[in-house]
Amino acid sequence: MPAPDGPAVIRSTLRQQIADALRDEILGGRLEPGQEFTVKEIADQYGVSATPVREALVNLAAQGLLDADQHRGYRVHEHSLADYRGMLEARSLVSDGIFRDLMTNAAAHTDAATGLVSVRRRGEEAARAACAGDLNVLIGYDLRFWRELSALFGNPYLSDFLHRLRVQSWVCAVTYLRRAVERGDDDLRGTLWARHTDLVDALARRDPQAAHRIVAEYNAHSLDLIERLAATA
- pLDDT digit string (tens) for 136-150? 999 999 999 999 998
pLDDT in tens, 8-20: 445 568 999 999 9
**116 vs 103: CA distance, rounded Å:** 13
Q: Rounded mean pLDDT of the chain?
A: 86
Which of the four CATH numbers 1.10.10.10, 2.40.128.120, 1.10.150.120, 3.40.1160.10 does domain 5-76 have? 1.10.10.10
Residue 3: pLDDT band (50, 70, 90) is very low
pTM: 0.85
Domain segments of the chain as ranges: 5-76, 81-231
Mean pLDDT across the stretch 31-47? 92
- Judged on CB neighbours under 10 Å (0-12, 13-18, 19+), 205 is exposed
**117 vs 85: CA distance, rounded Å:** 31
pLDDT in tens, 161-211: 999 999 999 999 998 888 777 776 667 888 899 999 999 999 888 888 899
- Sign of the alpha-carbon dihedral angle for 7, 160, 227, 134: negative
CATH class of 81-231: mainly alpha
Q: Which of 11, 94, 3 is nearest to 50 (CA)?
A: 11
